[in-house]
Every structure is written in C-alpha cells, then in structure tokens.
Amino acid sequence: VRHLLGIKYLNEKDIELIFETADQFKEVINRSIKKVPSLRDITIANIFFENSTRTKLSFELAEKRLSADVLNFSASQSSVKKGETLIDTVNNILSMKVDMVVMRHPNPGAGIFLSKHVNASIINAGDGAHEHPTQALLDSYSIREKLGEVGGKKVIIVGDILHSRVALSNIFALKLQGAQVKVCGPKTLIPKYIESLGVEVEPDLRRGLEWCDVANMLRVQNERMEMSYFPTTREYTQQFGINRELLDSLDKEIVIMHPGPINRGVEITSDVADSSQSIILHQVENGVAIRMAVIYLLASQLKT
Ligand code: CP
C-alpha cells in the first residue's frame, strides 16, 4: 500500500498493524523520548486547502518526532490564490524532492485524483464530506484504549452525518473491527445510503444513548450547510444535543467522544465535554501516535 486515501481501502489486519505500531510510538513518547531517527531521509509536505488545527499540527508533530524534513503549505497564502492548479502546485512541491504529501482538500476524492497524477505517497487528511481516515483510526484507537477492544462495542455517531467525513471513515473502521454502529441526527442530515453500510438509524437520542457504549458527537458543519437541510440551532440542541442532565438520567456511564472543533452548547455542553466521561483530549493525544504509525508504515513502502 503506497497511499492512505480512505479506510475503505484498508482491511482489519491493516488497522491492527497501524494500532500495534502506534502502541510502540506511544510508549516511546510516554518515556519522554520526543524524537526517533526513523525517517531522517524522508521529506513530507503538508498541503492544506481547508482550515485545520488538530490534524495539521498533529501531522507536523508526528513527522518531526520521526525526524522527517517537513514543508507546510497553506493554500490561502500560496499561488493557488493566483489560479495555480492542484496538480501544478503539487508537482512543483514534488520537484523539490518531496516523498510524501499529506493533503486536506474541500473536494471529495481530491486525494484519489492526486494519487493518479503525481509520483508520491499521498495521505488523505480530509477530503470534503468523503473520508478522514486518520481521524477514524485515532477514534477507534481511543475506544480500544478506553474499553480494551473495539469489536462487539456499540457506538452511536450523533449529528450531521450527511456532511461528515469523520462519520463515513468511522463507520468503515468500526464495522471492519466488528463494532455495532448506529447513527442519530435530523432526518435531513442522514444520507439515504447509510443503511446500505450496515448502520441502523436511531431517530431518538435518548434511546440511542441507552443502547450505546460510546457516543461520538459530531460538529454541525455550518460551512457545508444549505439552509434547507438544517433545523434551527435551538431545535437541533433540544433534540440532538448532549448535556449533563441527559447523561445523568441514563442508568450507565457511556464514553463521550468528539473529533473537534466543538460547537460548545450546540451538540455538547461544556460540563459534558470537559468531564471525566469525555475522552476528547485523549483522541487528540492519540492522533500523534496514530499519524506517526501511518507515516512510518507508508515510508517503509517507499524504501522497497
Ligand atoms: N478533527 C479535525 O479534523 O480537526 P481539525 O479540522 O482542526 O483538523
């Protein structure tokens, strides 16, 4: 495998290998060894055509901890603004002897397109509403860390499923590992094809929370929203927002996740997001080890 374009292209064994490799990097990081010399001869370009905090910083840190040389490219400050195409942009970067490209792009399939036109290893850091594979890997890795395993666990993904690359990649990853998955959200934000992925739709949040071991709360993606899709923010929060009172009324303690960035007070209240039930910051922490593992494994393919 030369690229990581989506979870759709992985199997259960690939995920296991990524997790085992991430375990080793996490152990190294926990021993306060911040840098390993594994990728001293590799150059990686992070090219972001959409805003990011967690993914961008986490990839950069992972690359630096592996001792790779790192180029950071932000489309908004580049010659893309003068009309340069994606392929021209990337080929110009590659002519500087870059081995791997980490790309976030607003168009679904942008990474797949690029992988067919340029000679480098491509990692998809989020392509429109399509896939966000490293997010799904770090999410499953965090469930495994918290609950021992992913197989057999009941996970509900709540919110704006229609616009969410996190939802799609999570569904693929969780199903591959044998988890049961439901989605919950406004009818207008649940895509028609969802049940064909082996996922049940639960329209009632309370029933969904009573069923699950883990609730992954998604951000309402206002930037991708057409007004006709969306209930008002107040209606959304009343029906699909999670708060302390609701959690306390369940007869068990469930694990709360969120990929970030959070719309505090919309899909989740602060007293839940910042509580001991929430593993949101563990997800972010695990993102570095997962991205180190993905980059390390792909780089080993470059050398063969
Ligand atoms: N979870 C996630 O992708 O966050 P960013 O958009 O900040 O990278």
CA of 196 to the centre of ligand 1 (A): 27
DSSP percent split of the chain into helix, strand, coil, nearest 5: 50, 15, 35
Q: Are 219 and 261 spatial neighbours (Cβ–Cβ below 8 Å)?
A: yes
Q: Whose CA is nearest to atom 6 of ligand 1?
A: 52
Give the per-residue pLDDT at 228.
63
pLDDT in tens, 43-100: 999 999 999 999 999 999 999 999 999 999 999 999 999 999 999 999 999 999 999 9
Q: What is the mean pLDDT of residues 8-31?
A: 96
Flag whether pLDDT at 3 surpasses 70: yes
- The reply to whether ligand 1 has any atom less than 6 angstroms from the CB of 135 is yes
180 lines ligand 1 (CB under 6 A): no
- pLDDT value at position 236? 92
Atom number in ligand 1 closest to CA 126: 3
Question: Residues at the annotated binding site for carbamoyl phosphate?
Answer: 54-55, 104, 132, 135, 260-261
The confidence score (pLDDT) of residue 97 equals 93
Residue 303 alpha carbon to ligand 1 centre in Å: 30
The answer to whether the beta carbons of residues 214 and 279 sit under 8 Å apart is no
Q: What is the mean pLDDT of residues 104-117?
A: 95
Domain at 7-131+284-302, CATH from 3.40.50.880, 1.10.3720.10, 3.40.50.620, 3.40.50.1370: 3.40.50.1370
Beta carbon of 54 within 6 Å of any ligand 1 atom: yes
Whether the CB-CB separation of 259 and 139 falls below 8 Å is answered with: yes
Is any ligand 1 atom within 6 A of the Cβ of residue 134?
no
pLDDT of 225 above 80: no
CB atoms within 10 A of CB 213: 18
CATH 3.40.50.1370 segments of the chain: 7-131+284-302, 133-281
CA angle (147, 150, 153) in 5-degree steps: 80
Q: Which atom of ligand 1 is nearest to the CA of 55?
A: 8
**What gap in Å lies between CA 140 and CA 145, rounded to an integer?**
9
Does the structure show a pLDDT above 80 at 222? no
CATH number of 133-281: 3.40.50.1370
d(CA 299, CA 304): 9
pLDDT band at 229 (very low <50, low <70, confident <90, very high): low
